[in-house]
Amino acid sequence: IVRWTRQHAPGIRPLVFDGQSHHMAGASPALELGLLLASIVEVARGLDRRGVAFTDLAAAATVRVQIGHELIAEIAKLRALRLCFAKLAAACGASGEALVPRVLALTSSRFRSDLYDHRTNLVRSSLAACAAVIGGCDSLIVLPFDGSEGDAARDLARDQGNLLRAEAQLARVADPA
């Protein structure tokens, strides 16, 4: 799949390395990052045995992480992810674009969310979204603050990302931290 996608559909990323389950289980940011990187190494080794270079793996992969509301810790987690991925890629002989992972950040960590005061979750998801943007995510998904499928909650979730990008202009600043 990795080879076929690279040749016939270069914009598609069929591999997803997902650190959400570790985060949701209560892992610290360091443990979450370590487990995520270990899974990348394991897949890289398996693909290398099949003749697929790390450069092809990097072009076919997205790294998905859950972002909580602890602003500094989550910014550091994303920055450490990028740094560790670059070192891993270099150790595997990759260079150029393969040194930079494609990072998808998800907010609204359900395991830390307040089930009774949903309005507090708005603040939490705003902090998480801010941490994701400042940390350098490539894509951001803000989940509804109350876990519902209602239009108001979805609109607020969408608007949080738009406010950070368009109003606060965090994506335009070289290093907003």
Share of the chain above pLDDT 90, in %: 34
Instruction: Say what the pLDDT of residue 172 is.
Output: 79
Give the global pTM. Answer: 0.85
Burial class of residue 43 in the structure, from the number of CB atoms within 10 Å of its CB (0-12 exposed, 13-18 middle, 19+ buried): middle
pLDDT digit string, tens, across residues 10-49: 888 999 999 988 988 888 999 999 999 999 999 999 999 9
Instruction: Say what the pLDDT of residue 77 is.
Output: 94
Give the strand pairing for 103-106 and 61-66: parallel
The set of residues, in sequence order, having a beta carbon less than 8 Å from that of 40 and lying 6+ positions away, is 17, 61, 63, 85, 88
Q: Select the highest-mean-pLDDT range: 62-66, 149-153, 157-161.
A: 62-66
